[in-house]
Structure 1
Amino acid sequence: MRNFKRTALLLDMLFLFQSAYPQEIEKGDLPVRGFAIAAPQSADVNRFVAFMEEVLVPRGVNVLILRVDYNYAFKSHPELRNEVTLSEADVKKMVAVARKHGIQLVPQINLLGHQSWAGSLENLLKVYPEFDETPHVEIPTDYKWPNEDGLYCKSYCPLHPDVHAVVFDLVDEIVEVFETDAFHAGMDEVFYIADDKCPRCSGRDAAALFAGEVSKIRNHLYAQGKRLWIWGDRLIDGKTTGIGMWEASMNNTHRAIDMIPKDVVICDWHYERPDQTPVMFAMKGFDVMSCAWRTPEVGVQQVKDMYKWRATQTEAMKDRFQGVILTVWSGADGFIDGLENYLAAEDKAKEEQSQPWVTFVHMFDTIEKISTK
């Protein structure tokens, strides 16, 4: 691993956003300065631990969401493991660094939706096909979107009588090994729900089904003193807002926002525009974080908005605006490589700007500048 410390003197020059901060923005730390990425492969854990210490800690990251899914050597359900997985010892390396530096670890397993990807089923439905909400929809060899079946990702049936006994075993085990009081259930982009061919869900209200699944997972965690985090897109009305089917819901799950417990933490992702939906979540009583990806100007504006809302909202509201998260939708190794190359480049402006590592640098430079001005 290259030595990130060699580039420390360059970090102050990476902030390229030129506009001045509004007068209403006040200095101070955001409660959540987050980073979300796929958990590393076992062979890459040492490199990732060094990345945590040499990059995430100096940049002020205090929440690390790790998408684990089936990349762990589960003892409760070994049949659901990937072929190569993280061991308990691998996880404990990350836990030790996080504890040392005050980073909250939030492991993620995708629940409800994202039970397939493109032409492949994920492990849960491979092993337990009876949990499939839409068994009549076959996974094509040559996957394309859009398609006649409306297949983006498969879902498990939330009303199957046996599904929670399996997934809650995984949740309990991963929360225990990560020594954390928070769990991220994903639950984004759920397009298959209340399917009219499902013998259990047909004819039911999609919002009630979604809210029931969120509440069931939340209640399971709450009984153990732990807190549920989810992505927020299914709780936004995609038609009324004009946000559409990806970053919001067009299949009527949005009404679930008034049916779920208020202690569920909302990760509100918007990647093309800094949509102002965190205000809606805060007004509904939820703690919320804005999430960016690969568009630096969006991530920077989300940071500025969070500071503005925390400075200008009522006392009852302001602490619900918890902060920001940079999300990465590739492997950990790829992100580290991209960041190293970007930091080493002599002319940052000539580098491809639509990348998550560029957004990461801009967002956390913005946080530093606002919090110390």
Structure 2
Amino acid sequence: MKKYLVFLLCFVSHLSWSQYDLPVKGLAIAAPDKQNVDRFVKFINEELAPRELNTLILRVDYNFKYKSHPELAEENGLSQMEVNKIVEACQKHGIAIIPQVNLLGHQSWATTVGKLLEVYPEFDETPNVELPEEYVWPNDDGLYCKSYCPLHPEVHAVVFAIVDEIVEAFKANAFHAGMDEVFYIGHEDCPRCQGRDKAELFAGEVTKIRNHLALNGKRLWIWGDRLIDGKTTGIGLWEASYNNTYRAIDMIPKDVMICDWHYERVDPTAVYFAMKGFDVATSPWRKADLAKQQLKLMQDLRANATDEMKEHYKGMVHTVWSPAGSFLNRFYGPFDPEKEDDAVCFKLLFPKE
């Protein structure tokens, strides 16, 4: 019975992809560590290509031996030779790589500060907020992840240097800046940002990154949650904004590509982004039933939209938030179509022939 269910789910999914071709069929995942580069290349060749994926967002962050700022490189960061293996595999199959370095937010995680603020603590938006020995949420400081100060006069010279280097290293035509879940912005303790409009600060940072990339003909991608009004929609403070950054949607350039992630419901916010003039892809995670509903919604939007709106609905980008190695372990492990798991969700969303 289980084998029949697997076949049926894959068959229906295959029909769905075939019925309406989508411009973007993507995976967003952390770049592999050194030990898993060859496994990851095998995964590209034997899994991504047969499933007809055409976009690979790689969260590199500081997992690369940067030459422009070697002080920011992780000790075991990827070499250019290792990156070349990934690039060559993707080029062979027509898969566009979009490297990602988290900018603005996500400069810490739980009890650990990220590499940028570790090396350059002066960039910290909230230097007076100390990371706890044991992280819990909620907490008195409202700490989820640290942010860098977007108005610090020296921060962009550093981050733009590594952005340019990573885009060149991966031979990419676009860059993903993250920009999700930014809780610290315009903080009252920041001498530069205090009292400023949070939407204007967020829009200013997005626009500055976009304009820098545009100088070399590269496109900016970001997550879309900070551009959604969490209170009005009821979506909440994780998948949407409670600190008024949502108004930035009317202040940023329309050529920014939006990855619209929703993990608990099939929120139809792709319509919102498209009506605002943005290209958008829907991003599921680990709930296969929701991912299939999200895919159907994206297909229906393209099938029924006007010519003006249709091309804004770009497709699907599946997300993985564990290290690449552990994802590969799950992917090549036992398959249970009823399990709530990102590898299971990926297989059902992008079935093989």
2:40 corresponds to which residue?
A: 48
1:186 aligns with 2:211: no
Q: Distance in 2 between matches of 1:262 and 1:177?
A: 27
Q: CA deviation at 1:342?
A: 3.0
Q: CA deviation at 1:96?
A: 0.4
Please, which runs of 5 or more residues in structure 1 have no aligned partner?
Answer: 1-8
Q: Distance in 2 between matches of 1:36 and 1:310?
A: 22
1:259 aligns with 2:251: yes
**Which of 43, 59, 62 is matched with 1:67 structurally?**
59
Q: Distance in 2 between matches of 1:87 and 1:140?
A: 33
2:262 corresponds to which residue?
A: 270
2:346 corresponds to which residue?
A: 360
- Kept in 2: contact 1:158–1:213 (CA 8 A): yes
Q: CA deviation at 1:358?
A: 1.1
**Cα distance change of structure 1 residues 46 and 161 upon mapping to structure 2, 3 Å threshold:** same
Q: Distance in 1 between matches of 2:95 and 2:286?
A: 23
Question: CA offsets per residue over residues 174-229 of structure 1, 9 Å max, x none?
Answer: 00000011000000000000001100000000000000000000000011100000
Question: CA offsets per residue over residues 232-261 of structure 1, 9 Å max, x none?
Answer: 000000000000000000000000000000
Q: Secondary structure at the match of 1:82?
A: coil
Of the structure 1 ranges 327-336 and 259-268, higher mean CA displacement relative to structure 2 is found in 327-336
- Aligned residue identity for 1:15: L
Q: Distance in 1 between matches of 2:60 and 2:260?
A: 20
Q: Distance in 2 between matches of 1:303 and 1:208?
A: 33
Q: Distance in 1 between matches of 2:157 and 2:146?
A: 19
Q: Distance in 2 between matches of 1:47 and 1:339?
A: 12
Q: Distance in 2 between matches of 1:135 and 1:234?
A: 23
1:164 aligns with 2:142: no
- Aligned residue identity for 2:341: Q
TM-score, scaled to structure 1: 0.90
Q: Distance in 2 between matches of 1:236 and 1:298?
A: 20
Q: CA deviation at 1:263?
A: 0.2
Of the structure 1 ranges 172-181 and 331-340, higher mean CA displacement relative to structure 2 is found in 331-340
**Which of 208, 214, 227 is matched with 1:222 structurally?**
214
2:314 corresponds to which residue?
A: 322
Q: CA deviation at 1:16?
A: 6.5
Q: Secondary structure at the match of 1:342?
A: coil
Question: Please, what is the CA RMSD of the aligned residues?
Answer: 2.1
- Kept in 2: contact 1:14–1:362 (CA 8 A): no
Question: CA offsets per residue over residues 96-148 of structure 1, 9 Å max, x none?
Answer: 01111000000000000000000000010011010000001001111111110
Q: Distance in 2 between matches of 1:307 and 1:67?
A: 27
**Which of 276, 301, 309 is matched with 1:309 structurally?**
301
TM-score, scaled to structure 2: 0.95
**Cα distance change of structure 1 residues 18 and 99 upon mapping to structure 2, 3 Å threshold:** closer
Identity %: 61
**Cα distance change of structure 1 residues 11 and 333 upon mapping to structure 2, 3 Å threshold:** farther
Within a 5 Å distance, the mapping from 1:1-373 to structure 2 comes to: 13=7, 15=9, 27-343=19-335, 348-349=336-337, 353-365=339-351
Q: Secondary structure at the match of 1:268?
A: strand
**Cα distance change of structure 1 residues 96 and 276 upon mapping to structure 2, 3 Å threshold:** same
- Aligned residue identity for 1:13: F
Q: CA deviation at 1:17?
A: 9.0
Q: CA deviation at 1:28?
A: 3.2
**Cα distance change of structure 1 residues 41 and 171 upon mapping to structure 2, 3 Å threshold:** same
Q: Secondary structure at the match of 1:110?
A: strand
Q: Distance in 1 between matches of 2:39 and 2:288?
A: 26
- Kept in 1: contact 2:30–2:321 (CA 8 A): yes
Question: CA offsets per residue over residues 27-51 of structure 1, 9 Å max, x none?
Answer: 2321000001000001210110000
